[in-house]
Structure 1
Amino acid sequence: MSEEPRSESKDDPGDSAAPNTLDWRRWSILAAGLAVFFLFWFMDAPAPAVDPAGEEFPLSDAGKAALGLFLLAAIWWVFTPIPIGVTAIAIGVFQALFLIRPPEVAFGNFMDPAVWFIFASLVIGIAFTKSGLTQRLAYRMLMLVGERTSTIYLGTFLVTVALTLVMAHTAVAATIFPVLLAIYSLYDAGDRPTRFGKGLFIGMAFAAGAGSIITLLGSARGIVGISFARDVADIDVGFFEVTYYLAPVGLLMTVLIWWMMLIFFPPEKKRIEGLTEVAERRYRELGAMKRDEWLTILIVVGAVLVLALQAMVPALEPVSRPAILLVTTLLFFALGVLTLKELEEIPWNIILLFGGAMSIGFCLWQTGAAEWLAITWLGMFEGAHWLLFVLGLGLFFVVMTNVIMNVAAIAIVLPVALVMAGYMGVSPHVVLFVALVATGMPFLFLVGAAPNAIAYQSGQFSTWEFFRTGVPASIVLTVVIGFSVLVIWPLLGMPILAG
């Protein structure tokens, strides 16, 4: 396999600047982030948010600072004046220095179980590569999809979606990522980023999100949302009911993602001549499955089965999902599939990124800033047409899930939205399923979902390119939500209006 290509927009600030020359762009972005933070730090407190019951939710000084810190992080993450992992460290540092939250809490979030889940998923990807499974899967996939680059796009996206039906989308992205690297190595593009590379990896991240909404096994957000709907709105949604209503939406989004990648990143080559022949020859050269390949398959399949059974066996529900997945890490090293060398190759920049994402997410939550935002935003639609309320809710979820964990976004916004739905005459089923769709596809920031950050390791795109692609993709997602509410779900029998 060839070396990983590097993005033209490097994540190493100052690389393009001449020695001893001040990099004005870099320092301007750093200053812009700081200016926004201090603007929020010094501004007067805005008016309290008021929920439908008339209860007021003032924004505290810590909440103001949390909003400013989030905007600082967003600016630095999109334009990367410093590495994304270092921006994540700054999130903890600012909380401690400006007394937004205690340092042991701010930095403690960097060790959150969700971060360890991502760590274990990345290790699975490394195990696939080290064992040789990556090349075997890549060549087999190319033998099936053929030589047209447009079909390679579609084939990889569909495989990604298929895997998310039975395992968490983070683990899927980590597993499929090295396969895509192996496929891309046959594109013969050298070390430079290409449109095909951008579309392949960004599309994979987007498709992982689209697939993860179809079953409760793709992410924890579904179970959390169903629990809130049961407690707040007294509705009970079953495992297969989720798939019944969301499979058409997830598949529609997958096709639209494929089209968007062909429009935004049309491959330089329509065909890779001789690709099928090369893939067949290299597949034969791999020979029979080796010990490490079988061990990797058995370990990963075992972990996936336990995670899948959690949704069906009550006794397994309390068991930590990150702990289950981390068992794979222990077994990989205990059985010699991986060594110290592979441990040192873990992309710590990505681990730090998600540590910072968890920290700013909990910061917005615990300071009340996220709740204030949710009530303020949804309050704007009080008295409006029910469809505007639903679309506004979907858009808010789309934005919030790019900022904080999708589980946290559901925990903060869904209870408020379910209460408001009663005033707007909207069925709680609609509110729940809009939440599950919108929080499943964070297309704007790398911190929105682990597949985004995993795809970024390819070096094919910059954070700005990802954001620029994510804006129209998020608009398409909002339109699909509206189409689902007006057409798809009524045809499937979902109640749209209350009463």
Structure 2
Amino acid sequence: MSSDLKRYFFVFLGIAVLLLFYFMPPLAPAVDPMGKSFELTQAGKAGIGLFLLAGIWWVFEVVPIGVTSIAIGVLQPVFGIRTAKEAFRDFMDPTVLFILGSLLVGVAFTQCGITKRIAYKMLVIVGEDTRKILLGVFVLTALLTHVMAHTAVAGAMFPIMMSILALYGGDMDKPSKFGKAMFMGMAFAAGAGSICTLMGGARNPAAVGFYKEFTGQDVTFLEFSAALAPFGWLTVIFIFFLMITIFKPEKLKVPGLRSRAQEELDKLGPITKQEIFVLVVVGLALASLVFQAYIPALKGMDRSIPLLTAGLIFFITKILTVKELERSISWNIVLLFSGAMSIGFALWQTGAAEWMAVSWLSMIQDAPWLVFVLGISFLVLILTNFIMNVAAISICLPVALVIAKYLGVNPEIILYSSVAMAGMPFLLLIGAAPNAIAYQSKQFTTGEFFATGVPASLAILAMVAIFSLTFWPIIGIPALIN
């Protein structure tokens, strides 16, 4: 089948799935263990069809990924899912602007030379072995996500890795196995590192909040990290071995790379006033995000504000100009997340997401406890690849905690397994901002990302089972309670 025929096949497959759900007869309502019924409206049915169309088009990249997002906005009013005003309002949701702010920070780092300085310094330390370079990138990424939002980390790491790729050699516009391993691995490592602390992502405190609401028990910062930091770091190690196995670098060593990196580092000279200024501005922005939960005056501030303010300061001081904005920001990626937000809110507001969650969890409510835990994990994993991870947690965790009570399953197991899955969407670019940021490198296709994410996703599901049976009970979190 020619590439054009294959593309048209998946275009029409997506449309056919949407039409199938739109015209199919009403589906039975979902009923939770408390007897509450959840109807699936006509708008909800069409929303599920659009959700599947978007997934097919994104995975097989039948049109640019940003264009698929435009289709999400256009097709919602056409099929009566939501009005055009509601559908397109989500395209400028604060979460999308947070991603834009993260990208601006990354561009500023590049413009003032910080990214090259970090890249050269890391290469001087790790040397010429390409496997050590990959491991260094993954470890640095995961460490930073302990205290920074993984979107901001990916935005900062991206130009650093582009500098490393340039030193690796070859055609920058031609994908290499080393490039695939480095950029995909960075996206995966950002997700794995972000589950290790409460500061790694908004989903973490949101999940703890739901847990406290339903159980009356709180989870401290240290308790959270004790349960999930080992999970996250084992995943980082697994990601490293997965990447060097699937995408074995063309060169095991790059002779002279360390000396070249040292020469380039020497050329940069001592750190400049501009670099210090950028570091201070970004440091203050990140500090406001880190301490937002502890300072009453900052609690009501949207998390996009500090990074966008930093970007504004860089434009005022002419560190950034419109030229860099047009050259360095991929509006295809911004549109990607705009569409992802729109379809996520559409599923939520039409009740389709809640119907799907209750239907799935009700099917496994009488299963053995481990099957139930893995079933919840699988549902969160799938949903978080399509919609905001906070939304996936909001949909699944309350229902799962109610069912867990009837099965005698420890709610802490449900909490930690759900957070782990919500933090690591390894299948679709829209699952997390680091995935889309990595895609800007042009080193891999959406199909390659999906294919690599399948074994990675299966591995973290297996880790949930292993941790539920071994590590979590050892640290005082038994699977079953009386």
TM-score class normalised by the smaller sequence: over 0.9
1:63 paired residue number:
44
| Partner Cα separation in structure 2 for residue 435 and residue 290 of structure 1 | 44
- AA aligned opposite 1:26: R
| Partner Cα separation in structure 1 for residue 13 and residue 50 of structure 2 | 12
Q: Following TM superposition, by how much is the alpha carbon of 1:313 offset from its aligned partner in structure 2, in angstroms?
A: 2.7
| Partner Cα separation in structure 2 for residue 234 and residue 471 of structure 1 | 36
| Partner Cα separation in structure 1 for residue 296 and residue 479 of structure 2 | 31
Q: Following TM superposition, by how much is the alpha carbon of 1:181 offset from its aligned partner in structure 2, in angstroms?
A: 0.5
Q: Deviations over 1:415-469 (max 9, x none)?
A: 0011011011111111111111110000000000000000000000000000011
Indicate whether 1:396 and 2:367 are aligned.
no
Q: Following TM superposition, by how much is the alpha carbon of 1:89 offset from its aligned partner in structure 2, in angstroms?
A: 0.4
1:343 paired residue number:
325
Q: Following TM superposition, by how much is the alpha carbon of 1:86 offset from its aligned partner in structure 2, in angstroms?
A: 0.5
- AA aligned opposite 2:122: M
1:454 paired residue number:
437
**Mapping for residues 324-363 of structure 1, pairs under 5 Å:** 324-345=306-327, 346-363=329-346
Q: Deviations over 1:94-134 (max 9, x none)?
A: 00112210111100000100000000000011111111111
Q: Following TM superposition, by how much is the alpha carbon of 1:78 offset from its aligned partner in structure 2, in angstroms?
A: 0.9
1:283 paired residue number:
265
- AA aligned opposite 2:382: V
| Partner Cα separation in structure 1 for residue 255 and residue 396 of structure 2 | 51
1:221 paired residue number:
203
Instruction: Determine if contact 2:105/2:307 at 8 Å carries over to the other structure.
Output: no
- AA aligned opposite 1:324: P
- AA aligned opposite 2:76: Q
Indicate whether 1:261 and 2:243 are aligned.
yes
Q: Which range moves more in the overlay, 419-428 or 439-448?
A: 419-428
- AA aligned opposite 2:474: L
Q: Which structure 1 residue ranges, 4+ long, deviate > 4 Å from structure 2?
A: none
Alignment match of 2:406 (pick from 386, 406, 423): 423
Alignment match of 1:172 (pick from 153, 160, 165): 153
TM-score normalised to the size of structure 2?
A: 0.98
Indicate whether 1:144 and 2:106 are aligned.
no
**Mapping for residues 44-55 of structure 1, pairs under 5 Å:** 44-55=25-36
| Partner Cα separation in structure 1 for residue 481 and residue 352 of structure 2 | 30
| Partner Cα separation in structure 1 for residue 412 and residue 265 of structure 2 | 48
| Partner Cα separation in structure 1 for residue 324 and residue 357 of structure 2 | 43
Q: Which range moves more in the overlay, 229-238 or 415-424?
A: 229-238
| Partner Cα separation in structure 2 for residue 458 and residue 347 of structure 1 | 11
Indicate whether 1:184 and 2:165 are aligned.
yes
Alignment match of 2:76 (pick from 77, 91, 95): 95
| Partner Cα separation in structure 2 for residue 79 and residue 325 of structure 1 | 33
Q: Following TM superposition, by how much is the alpha carbon of 1:486 offset from its aligned partner in structure 2, in angstroms?
A: 1.1
Instruction: Determine if contact 1:63/1:367 at 8 Å carries over to the other structure.
Output: yes
Q: Following TM superposition, by how much is the alpha carbon of 1:292 offset from its aligned partner in structure 2, in angstroms?
A: 2.1
Q: Deviations over 1:213-249 (max 9, x none)?
A: 0111111111111111111121201122211111100
Q: Deviations over 1:154-189 (max 9, x none)?
A: 110000001101110000000001100000111112
Indicate whether 1:471 and 2:454 are aligned.
yes
| Partner Cα separation in structure 1 for residue 141 and residue 459 of structure 2 | 20
| Partner Cα separation in structure 2 for residue 241 and residue 455 of structure 1 | 32
1:445 paired residue number:
428
- AA aligned opposite 2:440: Q
- AA aligned opposite 1:205: A
Mind listing any 5+ residue stretches in structure 2 that lack a counterpart?
none
| Partner Cα separation in structure 1 for residue 317 and residue 363 of structure 2 | 57
| Secondary structure at 2:470 match in 1 | helix
- AA aligned opposite 1:53: M
Q: Following TM superposition, by how much is the alpha carbon of 1:316 offset from its aligned partner in structure 2, in angstroms?
A: 2.2
| Partner Cα separation in structure 2 for residue 179 and residue 311 of structure 1 | 30
- AA aligned opposite 2:59: V
| Secondary structure at 1:245 match in 2 | helix
- AA aligned opposite 2:394: A
| Partner Cα separation in structure 1 for residue 280 and residue 340 of structure 2 | 32
| Partner Cα separation in structure 1 for residue 199 and residue 311 of structure 2 | 20
2:187 paired residue number:
205
Q: Following TM superposition, by how much is the alpha carbon of 1:25 offset from its aligned partner in structure 2, in angstroms?
A: 2.2
Indicate whether 1:381 and 2:335 are aligned.
no
Indicate whether 1:74 and 2:94 are aligned.
no
| Secondary structure at 2:267 match in 1 | helix
Q: Following TM superposition, by how much is the alpha carbon of 1:74 offset from its aligned partner in structure 2, in angstroms?
A: 0.6
1:310 paired residue number:
292
Instruction: Determine if contact 2:130/2:254 at 8 Å carries over to the other structure.
Output: yes
- AA aligned opposite 1:93: V
Indicate whether 1:484 and 2:467 are aligned.
yes
Task: Return the structure number with greater helix share.
Answer: 2
2:218 paired residue number:
236
- Percent identity among equivalent residues? 52
Number of matched pairs: 479
